Each structure stands twice: as structure tokens, then as C-alpha cells.
Structure 1
Amino acid sequence: DIGDIVRGKDLYLGYDQKEKNRREDLEKKLKEIFQKIQGQNRTLKDLPLDAVREYWWEENRRQVWKALTCDDRLRGYSYFRETCNGKEPTKGYCRCGNDEPGNDNPNTDPPTYFDYVPQYLRA
């Protein structure tokens, strides 16, 4: 889950050494990014890095969700299928209910109910 990766809570470490190395590289880069964010924001200066990551995710999760569901480069990927009610596809729209970019329709926000459920308990 992207939220787990951003917040440093992802349990997946990789299935072989190559994957583990890639995962470690990603984590190093994310730490550098969040240290830079922390250095540029006085409000975050005294917070531990884990808290900075949580803060950033909370502030930016909607934009990440829009990027994942609305970006033209992702058209045709598996997200764009019958997802709304099992019959109505999201084709031509970012999300269900004819929610186009720029519109703020209810129930189209990023799913949040899994954010604080440990990964091993998610179905």
C-alpha cells in the first residue's frame, strides 16, 4: 500500500536479495526526501521523522489518490474497470459517480479505512 510505504510502515521487505536491496534504496530515498521537507518547514522541525511522514501523508493523500486514478498515463490500467457498483465502469472519469477532475463529489475520496489497520490484518 502506498500509504504504508510513505509512512514507513510497509511490512513487505522483498522476496529475494535484489528486491530487498531495491526496497532499502527506496527507504533511503524517502528518508532523504522527508528530511528535506522537514528542513523546509519550521512547523515540522522538531518532530521525529516518522511524524513528518505521517503529517505529509495526511496532507497529500488526496492528491496521490487523484494522481493514481486520474492521470492520463494510467488510462487502460486495471483500476479503470467496473468498480462502482459492479456494473458501472469508471471509464472516462477519475472515479465513480461521474467525478471528473476538479469536481468534488462525495464518496470519491481516497479510501482511508485501512490506513491504520496493520497490513497483516487486511483482507
Structure 2
Amino acid sequence: ACAPYRRLSLCNKNLVKMDTNNNDGKAKHDLLLDVCMAAKYEGESLNTYSAQYDLKYPSSGSSFTMCTMLARSFADIGDIVRGRDLYLGKKKKKQKGKKTKTKKNHLKKNLQIFFKNILDKLDDSIKSNYKDAPYYYNLQKNWWTANRKTVGKALTCRAK
């Protein structure tokens, strides 16, 4: 099985390039901005991929190809943010004496840093609900639930 066109480029945008060195206390806002920018670019890119999808799968005959692609991209973004992404990513070539890295691993590390920064700014009474460091799956899930509508708007704002 291959990753669909829309999925191959999703992590190449803002999600991998997030700046995690910003410790000004705005991690949750910075994360939302980066996720929304990636969603916006993803929605725009689907305009070109829909033609390729229609050529590759002519029997689908659906007039809702774009809607399906948007829904799947939205699910992919949600899976990435919540730490449930199954796509392994392309491996970079090994450098002498160094481990092979994937964009997924880089993204996973960035998300851990962001969610640690978000957790650090929460009240102690709230922090006690999130004892799953260093992965922060519960915090990631709650962040996604709180921000999914905003991300959805960003994804669909430029899609045709």
C-alpha cells in the first residue's frame, strides 16, 4: 500500500518546520498557527492532486473527490497532532555513524517539545491530569478537540 498524494506532502510543510525554541509562553498559540498553516497549504495542494487522483482511480466516478480528500487530510492532521499517525515517512540517507531519521521522528520530537511547553504553562491543578510525559497523548487529544474546528476552517479555506 502506498500513501496517497495528499499524504506524502502533508508533513513537508509547517509541521516539520515548527520553531520549538520559542519559550515566550505562547506555545499553544504557536502550535495552532503552525498546524493551521500546514492545513491551509494542504487544502491548496489538494486542488492539484484531485486531478491525479481522478486519473489514477477513474472508476470512482465520484463528484465528491475533493470532499473525500479534505476529510482524509483532516483525519491525517488530527492523527499527527494526537500522536496516532501510522505513516512512517521517508527515511533520509544514512550519514556516517548517525542514525537514520525520518520526518515523522523529527515531527514527533517537535510535538513533544510543544506539548511540554504547553503543559509547563498550565496550573498545577490541571497538570495533574497529564501524567503521560514525555508523549503527552492526553494533552494532545484535548488540544486537538479544542482546536479542530479552527484547523478545519484553515484546511478548507482555499480548497476548490
- TM-score bin, normalised by smaller chain: 0.5 to 0.7
Residue 146 of structure 2 is matched in structure 1 by 59
The runs of 4+ residues in structure 1 deviating greater than 2 Å are 15-20
Change (3 A) 1:20 1:3: farther
Identity of aligned residues (%): 44
Equivalent pair of 1:14/1:20 in contact (CA under 8 Å): no
Equivalent pair of 1:44/1:52 in contact (CA under 8 Å): no
1:65 and 1:17 mapped to 2: Cα distance? 31
Residue 69 of structure 1 is matched in structure 2 by 156
Of 127, 138, 145, which aligns to 1:45? 127
- TM-score w.r.t. the length of structure 1 is 0.53
1:45 and 1:39 mapped to 2: Cα distance? 8
Give how far 1:20 is off.
5.2
Residue 35 of structure 1 is matched in structure 2 by 116
Q: Secondary structure at the match of 1:68?
A: helix
| Cα deviation digits, residues 38-83 of structure 1 (max 9, x gap) | 111225412121100001000000011111112xxxx3xxx31xxx
Residue 102 of structure 1 is matched in structure 2 by none
Residue 4 of structure 1 is matched in structure 2 by 79
Matched ranges for 1:66-105 at <5 A: 66-70=153-157, 75=158, 79-80=159-160
Unaligned regions of 5+ residues in structure 2, if any? 1-75, 94-99
Residue 103 of structure 2 is matched in structure 1 by 22
Give how far 1:15 is off.
4.0
Q: Secondary structure at the match of 2:145?
A: helix
Q: Secondary structure at the match of 1:64?
A: helix
Change (3 A) 1:44 1:69: farther
Give the number of aligned pairs.
73
1:44 and 1:6 mapped to 2: Cα distance? 20
Residue 120 of structure 1 is matched in structure 2 by none
2:156 and 2:101 mapped to 1: Cα distance? 28
- TM-score w.r.t. the length of structure 2 is 0.41
Bigger RCO of structures 1 and 2 (CA < 8 A, at least 6 apart): 2
Equivalent pair of 2:91/2:103 in contact (CA under 8 Å): no
Residue 84 of structure 1 is matched in structure 2 by none
2:126 and 2:139 mapped to 1: Cα distance? 6
